[in-house]
A and B are shown apart, each in its own frame.
Chain A
Amino acid sequence: MTVQEVEQGRYRSPFYPRQAELDRLFQWHDWKGYATADGFYDTDLEYFSIRNSTGVFDLTPMTKYRITGPDSLAFINRLVTRDMSKIKPGRVAYAVWCDDQGQVIDDGTIFHLKKGEYRLCSQERHMAWLRMSAIGMDVTIVDETMDVCGLAVQGPTSFSILKTMGLDGIENLRPFGLTHFDFQGAELMVSRTGFTGDLGYEIWITNDKAIELWDALFDAGKNYGIMAMGTDALEHSRIEAGFIAAYIDFLPADATVRSGRSRSPLELGLEWLVDFKKPNFNGRRALAEEKRSGSTWRLVKLDIEGNKPAHHSYIYANPKTKKEVGFITSAAWSPVCKQNIALGTVRVPHGNVGEKLFVEIYYQREMHWSRVMAEATVVDKPFWDPPRKRATPPGPF
């Protein structure tokens, strides 16, 4: 018997041939076994494409499960903390799922494709957990990560581009809506979702049509400032949008070794995703108890004085005693908000909106290190939240 050895190198996305043509930086990293670009030409310009025109990000390595069967809704509703019965076909839901202790395993988006037919997308892989959760239920879970590819099309001209591409009716698609189009005989799924906090869409198709889709998209976008972008630009924009990322702002509970390092949805500011009114869901008892007795941690959005990003800083309640109450998990200077922004995790009772905290920022200038104690105000709204994100129909730019 000859065994075909598994692939040793990184996978290439079906969009890779086009990306390779554009790539000037040769900076790639691993995302779940796929080669993913940090950037293609200039990460600053790529970032600005999201806020000024349109940036295109390759979503292909996202883990994707197709969930079907008579019990699909019951299964998903038991899995995640929010009430999925409210998510009708043609709608998308952001959701988290927890272990028995109410600690977050991952977050992701759940697409209700057709009645009773779902796609779950997440950064991490979860087949084991999903199979376990499905015991006793009539559902089929298929990993379609390698079969379906996707592009995030994000920015103020993204609507104009998709319209120019011939997607009639796209103007009626509301935020968190999804719809299907025929694309050269294949089914193109389009959702008005994204990880950038701006007007934007995600478009999905089977791998065999990847190149055709890329070409059609970039051709439609040539007068609308379309630009391929890598992870660096996306990362910057998601902090501005106030979105959390696994392994950065929280750890998947099932991969955490040390106790106290995982987080509950309540501790991540996601209480709005937890519906105690619906029938049982995993982690419900622990979360109800936490709600009664209080959480240990709280995720905060911080508006920090000055212009030096507070990477990895400790958070203090009092700059004199330097008593640590938490630390920064994501930090950036925001070019569009002209703000020094950060996400952090602090111990309750700290972190109330409006509270003044302090962060100790270390920064380097020409080899020498300096530090500054900067005031940081807890804010509740996303740092970047333009009205165009919600407008239906969206404006041309």
Chain B
Amino acid sequence: MKTYDAIVVGAGHNGLTNAAYLAKSGLDVLCLEKNDYIGGATVSRNLYKDWYYSNCSYVCSLLRPEIFRDLDLARHGLQVTPYGGGTVFMENGDYLGNYPNAEVHYREYARFSKADADAYERYSADTMRQCRFIRDFLLRTPPDPTSFKPKDLRELAHLGAKFYEMGEQRMYDTIRFWTMSVAEYLDEYFETDVIKAALSGSGIIGTALGIHSPGTAYVLLHHYMGDVDGNMGAWGYARGGMGSVAKAICSAFQSYGGELRTDAGVEQITVSNKKVTGVALTTGEEIKAPIVVSAMDVKRTFLKCMDKNDLDEDFYRRVKNFKIRGSSGKLNIALDGLPTFPALPKGSPLLDGDMHFIDSMERMERAYDDWKEGTWSKDPYVDMVIPTVCDPTMAPPGKHFMSCFVQYCPAQVEGRDWTDEERDQFGQTVIDQISEYSPDFKDLILHCEVRTPREIENEAGLTEGNIFHGELTMDQLMFNRPIPGYAQYRGPVGGLYMCGSSNHPGGGVMAAPGCNAAREILTDLKRPDITPVNFGDD
């Protein structure tokens, strides 16, 4: 039977990126995917007539431009188009617009507070400074602070130098920034409730924390540090839906001679004498390879796909305690036409942006209270986009696809598994909220897919449906991600590597963990490093 040089488990964007680099380096690589389609949570699904749903991830910004270019993803069919602006609808009939044009943005904020309109400039600069700091580390392996290996010392020195370069005051700010709540952070700049509510959303997306919970300021940063063609903080749509990202990376992988197998779920990563030997599929088939790379999240990898006896107790315990709590759901909707939002003027460019329906910090926090009670938010934070206002390929002309990301939605309801009825009630909560601001919305719905963490875990394989493969809090970042001592993509047994978003630098469609893990594998194999280096911005 054939033995591969390496097996990558999971054909999401990180698994495929990792596989692509290994194959590009000349290894004989097999990438396995449990579903009969690729992409994991980076997927476009045809679930209703001629509609294609980005039914998990839905917008693109974090994908590393260095990888985009290095793997020639444009030639492999990936195109990311930026979209502008957004709206928060207010209960009093007003709205807050977020306009890409700086002067229009100022004017809109000034409608609520001139001070806030001015403060936005300082807020942007302060946030961008933190982005610049963290961006430098996205394509680097985190140093182990307890190690005295030259590579770790070198990387630690680099980290220190970058930190020191920020200047005394900014160093204090940075430490605070990484630990404070998004609410506290915004309080330092703004006085208007709706403005704070609008900006706070990025601090809680995908996280089982509220806007007042420590650590959420960093989560905001995680949503700002991407870019579309150098426009930091900008977001875009992948043409054809997010599945185009996975398709393009897969096409690159195959162009390097890599082999993909779908419908091939891994039952267990097999180990002998503390070394991996390959994988056993759910069908019973065994495939051999001296290297196995898991693109699954850390809990799924070690708790579900490995024999506990192959792992040490303390390691096992730490994996069990890794925070990967389900906090969000998703509605994917086929629409018969573009819904109208009477609060917005006809022809407003805001109609092309994202939309939100929570206008106060209190409502943001109350939404989290429901999650703590073990149920979905009755007044949820919804991040709603209609990519088809820009993308002609995802629905027939004049028809639309709407994506609603919904926070909060627990992995279990009051400690029990979800029922289908509860799932539908959850969906109805979201539809009702949007209908408050769009009277014709309900009548335009042709098909609606409702996904709670249960559906997301079952289909995409994300434990508890956590979109980041584990929460992005300080205790689970950098050299502590996923767990201390294992932040350099190497697993606890020989030949086992981890390349999913449970690893540095974390979740979002970034492809950095996949690429970083490939670099470590190639280093161990004493092959030349072919992974790209940071473009840098100065």
Contact = CB atoms under 8 A, between A and B. Distances in A.
Contacts of A201: none
Interface in A237-258: none
Contacts of B239: 52
Given A42-B101, A52-B79, A333-B230, A307 B393 contact: no
Interface in A141-190: 156-157, 160, 164
B interface, size bucket: 20 to 34
Interface stretch (B18-26, B65-73, B276-284, B314-322): B65-73
A337 B72 CA distance: 8
B365 to A, nearest CB: 35
Contacts of A223: 397-398
A333 B397 contact: no
Contacts of A365: 537-538
Nearest to A24: B101
User: Which of B65, B75, B82, B392 has the most CB atoms of chain A within a 10 A radius of its CB?
Assistant: B392
Contacts of B69: 338-339
Given A42-B101, A53-B390, A307-B230, A336 B537 contact: no
Interface string B362-395: 0000000000000000000000000001111100
Contacts of B74: 336-339
A307 B535 contact: yes
A interface, size bucket: 20 to 34
B79 A51 contact: yes
Interface in A300-327: 306-307
B137 to A, nearest CB: 18
Given A41-B349, A339-B69, A306 B538 contact: no
Contact of A225 (B80, B230, B390, B535): B390
B397 A338 contact: no
Given A337-B74, A338-B69, A44 B538 contact: no
A101 to B, nearest CB: 40
A48 interface: yes
Contact of A333 (B100, B229, B391, B538): B229
A225 B83 CA distance: 13
Given A335-B229, A337-B74, A42 B100 contact: yes
A397 B82 contact: no
Contact of B82 (A48, A53, A156, A339): A48
Contact of B81 (A42, A52, A164, A396): A52
A53 B392 contact: yes
Contacts of A97: none
Nearest to B85: A42
Contacts of A130: none
Contacts of B484: none
A245 B84 CA distance: 31
Contacts of B228: 335
Tell me the dominant secondary structure on chain B's binding face: loop
B75 to A, nearest CB: 8
A117 B81 CA distance: 42
B82 A370 contact: no
A45 B84 contact: yes
User: Which of A51, A53, A335, A365 has the most CB atoms of chain B within a 10 A radius of its CB?
Assistant: A335
B392 A157 contact: yes
A338 B538 CA distance: 19
B391 A338 contact: no
A306 B349 contact: no
Given A45-B84, A307-B535, A397 B392 contact: yes
Contact of B397 (A42, A224, A335): A224
A248 to B, nearest CB: 22
B392 A224 contact: yes
B538 A156 contact: no
Given A48-B82, A306-B535, A156 B65 contact: no
Given A41-B349, A44-B82, A365-B537, A307 B65 contact: yes
Interface string B430-442: 0000000000000
A41 B104 CA distance: 12
A333 B230 CA distance: 9
Contacts of B229: 44, 333, 335
A387 to B, nearest CB: 10
Contacts of A157: 392
A339 B79 CA distance: 12
A48 B83 CA distance: 10
Interface string A220-235: 0001110000000000
A366 to B, nearest CB: 8
B85 to A, nearest CB: 10
A336 B230 contact: no
Interface string B226-243: 001111000000010000
A156 B535 contact: no
Contact of B73 (A45, A53, A164, A338): A338
Interface string A362-397: 000100001000000000000000000000000011
A53 B393 CA distance: 9
User: Which of B74, B101, B398 has the most CB atoms of chain A within a 10 A radius of its CB?
Assistant: B74
Interface string B83-106: 010000000000000001100000
A195 to B, nearest CB: 20
Given A42-B84, A160-B397, A225-B392, A336 B79 contact: yes
B78 to A, nearest CB: 8
A397 B395 CA distance: 11
Contacts of A333: 229-230
Interface string B107-126: 00000000000000000000
Contact of B391 (A52, A307, A337): A52
A48 B81 contact: yes
A48 B84 CA distance: 12
User: Which of A41, A42, A224 has the most CB atoms of chain B within a 10 A radius of its CB?
Assistant: A42
Interface string B509-538: 000000000000000000000000001011
A126 to B, nearest CB: 38
User: Which of B68, B69, B73, B537 has the most CB atoms of chain A within a 10 A radius of its CB?
Assistant: B69
A223 to B, nearest CB: 4
Interface in B5-34: none
A394 to B, nearest CB: 13
Nearest to B72: A338
Contacts of A42: 84, 100-101
B338 to A, nearest CB: 9
Nearest to B99: A42
A157 B238 CA distance: 17
Contacts of B398: 223
Contacts of A52: 79, 81, 239, 390-392
Interface string A337-362: 11100000000000000000000000
Contacts of A335: 80, 228-229
Contacts of B81: 48, 51-52
B100 A338 contact: no
Interface of A: 41-42, 44-45, 48, 51-53, 156-157, 160, 164, 223-225, 306-307, 333, 335-339, 365, 370, 396-397
10 contacts: A44-B231, A51-B81, A52-B390, A157-B392, A224-B397, A225-B390, A335-B229, A338-B73, A339-B69, A397-B393
Closest 5 CB pairs of A and B: A223-B397, A223-B398, A397-B392, A335-B229, A338-B69
Given A52-B392, A223-B398, A225-B389, 19 more contacts: A51-B81, A52-B79, A52-B391, A53-B390, A156-B392, A157-B392, A224-B397, A225-B390, A225-B392, A333-B230, A335-B228, A336-B74, A338-B68, A338-B74, A365-B538, A370-B538, A396-B392, A397-B392, A397-B393
Interface of B: 65, 68-69, 73-75, 79-82, 84, 100-101, 228-231, 239, 349, 389-393, 397-398, 535, 537-538
